Amino acid sequence: MDLDRYREDSKAAWGRIARTWDRERDFLSAATQLVDERLVARLDPRPDETILELAAGTGETTPELAVRLGEGGRLISTDFAPSMVEAAQAQSERLGLRNVEHRVLDAERMDLEDASVDRVACRFGYMLMAAPAAALAETRRVLRASGSLAFAVWATADRNPWAAIPRLTMVELGYAAPPVPGGPGPFVLGDHDRINELLGGAGFSEPEIEEVPVHWGYADADEHWLRTITLSPSTSEQLEALSEADRERVREAVRDRVEARLAEGPEGMDGLALVVTAS
């Protein structure tokens, strides 16, 4: 995999989808509410601290972090896609958050001083970065000696059928290449041993890993298709490159699998996240 090309393509893709994520904010927040709550609780922000939020997207955890810090604290909310930063900043302005600084920032190459923040939060970001080892080393560099890190990633593909089924279907039908082993992707950090290895290599202590369920609550297979496809930049782009007939072939195959799981109950399409803390 050409990681430089991946970085550019990823930045462009997330920039294009920022408006969709902003529009679907309520749906995403409802589904991942427990993950957000556990992430903030495990990070344990204190008044007057400085917190760095990486890959903040449209700012799902930004309000709670800002409130925890109080007027004397400082939250640096960042993303590498300018459109995501703009959406997060607009939300902060709507909510009247005065202690948040929004910045475009590449987590792998941070324009921040050594030991300049007390805590770092990252929600579903490290797994999609071209070089998570570099990003975690940078995270350790900007953290103070007593600082701590809390981040969320998706567990393995078998625990997240909502995202795995469309990807697997496209590969099986020959419309997408199999994922590159160890390459960036939603499930690459779903293995506990891999998390331990990366954090240890970056200079962190042995982490605590908490499994947190995610309930999507899809009404039917059509809602799953609409929500999942429109909110996944990689999948939506792959589908757009297909003919109408091929897209429909993928949709029918995905629908069959999703309907079979939903027949078992709404939990058949639920997911699992890992909330990781280390210092």
Burial of 143 (C-beta count, 10 Å sphere; 0-12/13-18/19+): buried
Distance CA 190, CA 50 (A): 29
pTM, rounded to two decimals: 0.96
Our count of domains for the chain comes to 1
For residue 206, CA distances in Å to 36, 128, 165, 212 come to: 22, 22, 32, 19
The domain that holds 203 is classified in CATH as: 3.40.50.150
Among 161, 157, 153, residue whose Cα is nearest residue 179: 157
Give the Cα separation of 246 and 161 in Å (integer): 22
Domain housing 88: 3-278
Residues of the chain short of pLDDT 50, as ranges, are none
Q: Based on C-alpha coordinates, what's the Rg of the chain?
A: 19
Q: What is the pLDDT of residue 266?
A: 85
Q: Report pLDDT for 1.
A: 82
* Res 229: pLDDT: 85
Would the CA dihedral through 186, 188, 190, 196 be positive or negative? negative
d(CA 40, CA 50): 14
The pLDDT value recorded for residue 136 is 98
Give the per-residue pLDDT at 228. Answer: 87
E-strand spans in 155-207? Answer: none
